[in-house]
């Protein structure tokens, strides 16, 4: 196991410029997540939760501060380096699922593998096993346009875990689901990440879901401070 946190941020900042105005969203975020642990992040709408996930995943570049992945500085790395590392090492789950509607559940899960290399026999096996574990054994061949919201999100969870990532980032993964379906997806997400020994950063508005993670954080005034 790595001695470094999976992700560390020091004084991370993000100011957007829109219509000639500066919008300071994050102002000095310090953050650490250890291997195999879970953290939830809550905060009012507009407080910068999604922005923070974009920074931690290096999909957005910070306007200040430093980011480390397993102790390695991410600032200054090329887009290719970040994309390659992200594809193998990180899984992401979004509120809006982002599945390919014309592809089957199985093909959607395998897409995570296609991005990093050829699909081998053991990859198909892994994808099928993950779909079984999220309760979709009988839906593998269904195109995702024909799946329910809850089923889509379970496919997205399986896809996020396909490459055995060290960490999962989830942005309001139950935001588009009814309460009961959301509970089921949340239980799967927490159980599977634990079984796979992956760390989890969960952005949620749901206090009960947040309470199920090892550490609970609240984003306000651009940071986690008081
Ligand atoms: N690309 C952008 N350009 C300009 N402003 C942006 C951009 N993205 C986000 N913002 C602004 O940054 C602030 C934080 O947005 P963000 O999406 O991170 O909030 P959030 O905490 O995820 O909110 P929600 O709970 O509603 O999802 C908002 O005021 C938003 O308008
Ligand atoms: Mg958001």
Pocket of ligand 1 (CB under 6 A): 16, 18, 23, 25, 43, 45-51
- Tell me which residues have their CB within 5 A of the ion that is ligand 2: 49-50
More confident call, 225 vs 222: 222
Q: Which residues pair with 12 in a beta bridge?
A: 29
- Tell me the per-residue pLDDT of 8-17, one tens digit each, with 9 for 90 and over: 999 999 999 9
Contact 43, 219 (CB under 8 A): yes
Q: Does the structure show a pLDDT above 80 at 67? A: yes
Contact 198, 67 (CB under 8 A): no
Does 27 map to a domain? yes
How many angstroms is it from 91 CA to the middle of ligand 2? 17
Does 144 map to a domain? yes
pLDDT at position 3 is 79
Residue nearest to atom 16 of ligand 1 (CA): 48
CA nearest 148: which of 105, 108, 110, 107? 105
Residue 198 CB contacts under 8 Å (≥ 6 apart), including other chains: 36, 91, 161, 164, 165, 166, 167, 168
Does 225 map to a domain? no
Which domain does 154 fall in, by range?
7-218
How many angstroms is it from 124 CA to the middle of ligand 2? 33
How many angstroms is it from 121 CA to the middle of ligand 2? 37
Does 84 map to a domain? yes
Ligand nearest to the CA of 43: 1
Helix, strand, coil shares of the chain, percent, nearest 5, are 35, 25, 35
What SS3 class is residue 47? Answer: coil
Distance CA 88, CA 190 (A): 20
How many angstroms is it from 204 CA to the middle of ligand 2? 9
Contact 106, 150 (CB under 8 A): no
Ranges assigned E (strand) in 70-113: 72-73, 90-94
The DSSP bridge pattern shows strands 215-218 and 199-203 to be unpaired
CATH number, domain of 33, equals 3.40.50.300
- Tell me the per-residue pLDDT of 94-148, one tens digit each, with 9 for 90 and over: 999 999 999 999 999 999 999 999 999 999 999 999 999 999 999 999 999 999 9
Our CA angle for 136, 206, 40, nearest 5°, is 85
Number of domains in the chain: 1
Ligand 1 pocket, mutate which of 21, 24, 25, 57 (most atoms under 8 A from CB): 25
Q: Does the structure show a pLDDT above 80 at 226? A: no
- Tell me the per-residue pLDDT of 191-213, one tens digit each, with 9 for 90 and over: 999 999 999 999 999 999 999 99
Distance CA 87, CA 85 (A): 6
Cα torsion angle, 204, 206, 207, 210, sign: negative
| Mean per-residue pLDDT over the chain, rounded | 96
Q: Does the structure show a pLDDT above 80 at 2? A: no
Contact 128, 160 (CB under 8 A): no
Residue 48 Cα: closest atom of ligand 1 = 18
Does 2 map to a domain? no
Q: What is the pTM of this model?
A: 0.96
């Amino acid at each position: 196991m790595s001695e470094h946190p999976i992700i560390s941020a020091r004084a991370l900042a993000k100011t957007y410029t829109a219509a000639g105005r500066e919008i300071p969203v994050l102002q000095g975020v310090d953050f650490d997540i250890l291997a195999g642990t879970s953290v939830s992040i809550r905060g009012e709408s507009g407080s910068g939760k999604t922005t923070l996930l974009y920074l931690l995943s290096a999909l957005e570049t910070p306007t200040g501060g430093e980011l480390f992945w397993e102790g390695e500085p991410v600032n200054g790395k090329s887009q290719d380096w970040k994309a390659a590392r992200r594809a193998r090492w990180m899984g992401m789950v979004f509120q809006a699922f982002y599945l390919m509607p014309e592809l089957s559940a199985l093909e959607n899960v395998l897409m995570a593998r296609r991005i990093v290399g050829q699909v081998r026999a053991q990859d198909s096996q892994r994808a099928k096993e993950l779909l079984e574990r999220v309760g979709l054994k009988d839906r593998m061949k269904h195109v995702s346009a024909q799946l329910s919201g809850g089923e889509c999100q379970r496919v997205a969870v399986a896809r996020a875990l396909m490459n055995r990532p060290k960490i999962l980032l989830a942005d309001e993964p139950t935001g588009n689901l009814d309460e009961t379906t959301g509970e089921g997806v949340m239980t799967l997400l927490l159980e599977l990440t634990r079984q796979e020994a992956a760390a989890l950063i969960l952005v949620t508005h749901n206090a009960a879901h947040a309470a199920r993670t090892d550490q609970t954080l609240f984003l306000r005034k651009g940071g986690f401070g008081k």
